């Protein structure tokens, strides 16, 4: 069997590993536009902030290792056409410009996403940069050495993390967000405000309810940023908007969602039985709403790529869906989220409520402790947990993972209130803070549901 994989970042690499394990007799050919594989985009802010000394250290896979295992790695090859009926691929060698014709029995599309460039006048200015690929990370780092004022456009995860990176490298940072709060995909206003306050305390100028309308040269060195809330000068700007799925090669040949994401079955198969897809170019099955959603994350890409590799010759393992759990360490504060925010739960027509728990994560008699804030989102009718957001100077990311499982298993606030959690004064109170957050929700709903 001849298996072609297009795109070799997280989804593509995960697929190759499984094909080598489960189908060692198959012939694998990989097409990748870039010279390197496996760049983790989060490495960019970590490098800017000094936590990662060398950008190459962020790469976790080497094409040579796959070549040694018999994989044909067509690096710096851009696939420009796929004929799904004929099972053919046309690619261009970006070094020699030569065209390469190939065929496949099975194809895995791991082409990911590209940055959705907003339609702002002057966005093509050379002082305006992007932050997804390894090449872009090198450019950002080089530019940062010559600049002092940095403006970040977009207050999602990437923008907030970059703001931290630039503050740590001694830059003057402005973060511009169109809507009323930062991180609006993952947090509700209370937690978002805490994060915004932290950024401001660390020196970031945060502008919400502000839309950038124009980017223009003020001088050779300075960029003028015109917004709905005034005009600002900056040495450079970084755009951190969302991404869009790269599926153009199969447009009109397989079923795509409205936004262009490839529609897959739980095995990562597409409407063409010989084409699989994984990663940022596909949708996920989002358990909180029991529907498909476009939520591009590396954690999704590795799981979907793994499934595509396992299932490519034998559909044997289904996806169990996702809660889209995320986390970040912002300065010394952990922010972790899973499932729906209250706003999104209401938009999805749940009769949703949210409960806040605030307290110290472990007893005050311990040498140190830290405040923890949890917002638990739940369905008032079924009492099932729909989502949660946690923020603390204590490490709470694994609690978001626990809540992810709670949502996956459709547990209720009543069950979470009593769910078995360890106790030791080193770690928590006799009732863990997740139990306590659920108990707040139970009290809000007038007490426990009878269990008989």
The residues that are catalytic are 10, 42
* Binding flag, residue 404, ligand FAD (CB under 6 A): no
Number of residues that make up the chain: 452
By C-beta, is 175 or 416 nearer to ligand FAD? 175
By C-beta, is 388 or 413 nearer to ligand FAD? 388
Q: How far is the CB of 29 from ligand FAD (least distance, A)?
A: 12
Quick one: which of 279, 309, 353, 387 contacts ligand FAD (CB under 6 A)? 279
* Binding flag, residue 41, ligand FAD (CB under 6 A): yes
* Binding flag, residue 11, ligand FAD (CB under 6 A): yes
Quick one: which of 5, 6, 183, 421 contacts ligand FAD (CB under 6 A)? 6
- With residue 390 as reference, give the H or E element that holds it: strand 385-392
Binding pattern for the stretch 246-275 against ligand FAD, x by CB under 6 A and - elsewhere: x--x--------------------------
By C-beta, is 39 or 350 nearer to ligand FAD? 39
Quick one: which of 190, 297, 317, 370 contacts ligand FAD (CB under 6 A)? 297
* Binding flag, residue 414, ligand FAD (CB under 6 A): no
* Binding flag, residue 94, ligand FAD (CB under 6 A): no
Stretch that binds ligand FAD, among 169-177, 213-221, 265-273, 298-306 (CB under 6 A): 298-306
Q: How far apart are the first and last CA of the chain?
A: 57
Quick one: which of 3, 4, 31, 374 contacts ligand FAD (CB under 6 A)? 31
Of 231, 372, 386, nearest to 324 by C-alpha is 386
By C-beta, is 116 or 366 nearer to ligand FAD? 116
Q: How far is the CB of 345 from ligand FAD (least distance, A)?
A: 22
By C-beta, is 80 or 405 nearer to ligand FAD? 80
* Binding flag, residue 150, ligand FAD (CB under 6 A): no
* Binding flag, residue 163, ligand FAD (CB under 6 A): no
CA distance 250 to 260: 10
Which residue in this structure is represented by tokens 């511009």? 176
* Binding flag, residue 175, ligand FAD (CB under 6 A): no
- Interacting positions 73-92 with ligand FAD (CB under 6 A): 78-79
Stretch that binds ligand FAD, among 107-115, 140-148, 230-238, 407-415 (CB under 6 A): 107-115
Measured CA to CA in angstroms, residue 173 lies from 132, 160, 161, 232 at distances of 19, 11, 12, 12
Is residue 375 packed enough to be buried (19+ CB in 10 Å), middle (13-18) or exposed (0-12)? buried
Quick one: which of 154, 155, 288, 296 contacts ligand FAD (CB under 6 A)? 296
By C-beta, is 73 or 198 nearer to ligand FAD? 73
Quick one: which of 61, 110, 140, 385 contacts ligand FAD (CB under 6 A)? 110
- Interacting positions 113-132 with ligand FAD (CB under 6 A): 113, 131-132
**Count of residues binding ligand FAD (CB under 6 A)?**
32
* Binding flag, residue 280, ligand FAD (CB under 6 A): yes
By C-beta, is 58 or 208 nearer to ligand FAD? 58
* Binding flag, residue 158, ligand FAD (CB under 6 A): yes
Q: How far is the CB of 367 from ligand FAD (least distance, A)?
A: 32
CA distance 108 to 268: 9
By C-beta, is 277 or 376 nearer to ligand FAD? 277
Q: Which two tokens stand for residue 160?
A: 């907030």
* Binding flag, residue 298, ligand FAD (CB under 6 A): yes
By C-beta, is 66 or 378 nearer to ligand FAD? 66
Return residues touching ligand FAD (CB under 6 A): 6-12, 31-34, 41-42, 44, 78-79, 110-113, 131-132, 158, 246, 249, 279-280, 296-299, 301
């Amino acid at each position: 069997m001849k298996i072609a994989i297009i795109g070799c970042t997280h989804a593509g690499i995960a697929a190759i590993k499984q094909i080598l394990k489960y189908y060692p007799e198959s012939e694998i050919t990989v097409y990748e536009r870039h010279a390197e594989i496996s760049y983790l985009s989060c490495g960019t802010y970590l490098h800017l902030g000094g936590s990662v000394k060398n950008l190459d250290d962020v790469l976790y896979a080497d094409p040579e290792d796959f070549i040694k295992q018999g994989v044909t790695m067509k690096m710096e090859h851009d696939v420009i056409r796929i004929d799904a009926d004929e099972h053919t691929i046309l690619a261009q060698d970006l070094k020699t410009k030569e065209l390469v014709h190939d065929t496949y029995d099975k194809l895995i599309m791991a082409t990911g996403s590209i940055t959705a460039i907003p339609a702002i006048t002057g966005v093509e200015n050379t002082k305006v940069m992007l932050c997804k690929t390894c090449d872009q990370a090198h450019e950002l780092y080089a530019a940062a050495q010559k600049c002092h004022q940095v403006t970040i456009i977009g207050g999602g995860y990437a923008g907030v993390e970059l703001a931290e990176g630039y503050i740590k490298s001694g830059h003057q940072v402005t973060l511009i967000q169109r809507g009323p709060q930062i991180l609006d995909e993952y947090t509700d206003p209370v937690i978002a405000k805490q994060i915004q306050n932290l950024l401001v305390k660390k020196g970031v100028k945060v502008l919400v309810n502000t839309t950038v309308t124009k980017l223009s040269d003020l001088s050779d060195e300075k960029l003028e940023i015109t917004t709905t809330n005034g005009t600002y000068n900056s040495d450079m700007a970084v755009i951190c908007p969302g991404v869009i799925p790269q599926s153009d090669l199969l447009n009109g040949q397989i079923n795509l969602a409205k936004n262009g994401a490839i529609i897959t079955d739980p095995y990562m198969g597409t409407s063409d039985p010989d084409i699989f897809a994984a990663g940022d170019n596909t949708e996920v099955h989002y358990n909180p709403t029991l529907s498909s959603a476009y939520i591009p994350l590396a954690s999704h890409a590795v799981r979907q790529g793994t499934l595509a590799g396992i299932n490519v010759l034998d559909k044997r393992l289904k996806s169990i869906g996702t809660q889209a759990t995320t986390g970040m360490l912002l300065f010394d504060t952990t922010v972790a989220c899973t499932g729906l925010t209250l706003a999104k739960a209401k938009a999805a027509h749940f009769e949703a409520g949210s409960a806040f728990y605030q307290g110290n994560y472990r007893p005050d008699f311990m040498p140190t402790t830290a405040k923890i804030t949890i917002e638990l989102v739940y369905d008032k009718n079924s009492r099932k947990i729909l989502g949660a957001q946690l923020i603390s100077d204590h490490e709470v990311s694994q609690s978001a993972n626990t809540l992810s499982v709670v949502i996956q298993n459709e547990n209720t606030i009543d069950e979470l209130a009593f769910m078995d959690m360890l106790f030791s004064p080193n770690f928590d109170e006799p009732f863990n803070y997740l139990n306590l957050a659920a108990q707040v929700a139970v009290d809000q709903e007038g007490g426990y549901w009878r269990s008989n």
